[in-house]
Amino acid sequence: MGYIKEEIKKLVKGKGKSKASRESNQWFEKSLKDNKEKAVGSIRSRFIPGKMYVFEYTPITKDIQWYDDNPVVLALDPYDGDDIGINITMLPPKFREEFLDEIYNRYESSIKSASKKEDAKKQKGLPTFSYKGAKRYLESFGYDFAIRRYKPSSKKNQAVVAYKDWCKMAICDFDSLQGINKQQLIKLFEDHRRKKNI
């Protein structure tokens, strides 16, 4: 068990996942409004690979059947003018925690170096955290479905979250799916995994 799972365990202890999730949501909202709080910061820049972003999103195309209008995204390298990332809220909760724990452990020395600056906006990214590697890893579990492409012009009110607080974002639930509910999303994942024989 690495840093993320250990911290989640502390956050949940004595209160359960639902209450811990609500508290994490409240922490994010409060931190975003507090200029003295550096763990969450408003930022307009394009994605930097390896950093975690939260933003409001409205797709350009009107014929999209469903989308997440407040995604929590672990950024990958950009492609063709768009920002690419893993929408972690689309991952099943248990897998999300395992995934973030593994990423944190794998990049721990780079994260510790980047975390010398406590200001989320000033922390460096993880240059070797790439689309190719993330896709290969997620595909092996059938969760490559969570890799999403975002038009920078469609993002609003973007915030970046410090590495040490990934644990809080792992249990946040902004309940922001549009045109689909959680059960339908799980079914889409199951169908996707079945087609890939996973």
pLDDT digits (tens, 9 = 90+) for 67-83: 899 999 999 999 999 99
> Half-sphere exposure of 29 toward its Cβ, with a 13 Å CA cutoff?
10
Of the two residues 163 and 191, the one the predictor is more confident about is 163
Predicted confidence at residue 185, as pLDDT, reads: 87
| Residue 25 structural domain | 3-195
CB atoms within 10 A of CB 81: 9
pLDDT digits (tens, 9 = 90+) for 7-24: 999 999 999 999 999 999
Look at the chain and report how many structural domains it folds into. 1
Do residues 121 and 129 touch, judged by C-beta distance below 8 A?
no
Residue that has been written with the tokens 């993002």 in this structure = 155
Residue that has been written with the tokens 């999303």 in this structure = 185
pLDDT digits (tens, 9 = 90+) for 123-171: 999 988 999 999 999 999 999 989 999 999 999 999 999 999 999 999 9
Residue 63 pLDDT > 80, yes or no? Answer: no
Q: How far is CA 88 from the centre of its chain?
A: 4
CB atoms within 10 A of CB 145: 18
Cβ-proximal residues to 18 (8 Å cutoff; 6+ apart), any chain: none
**What CA–CA distance (Å, rounded) separates 85 from 3?**
22
What pTM did the predictor assign? Answer: 0.94
**What CA–CA distance (Å, rounded) separates 33 from 7?**
24
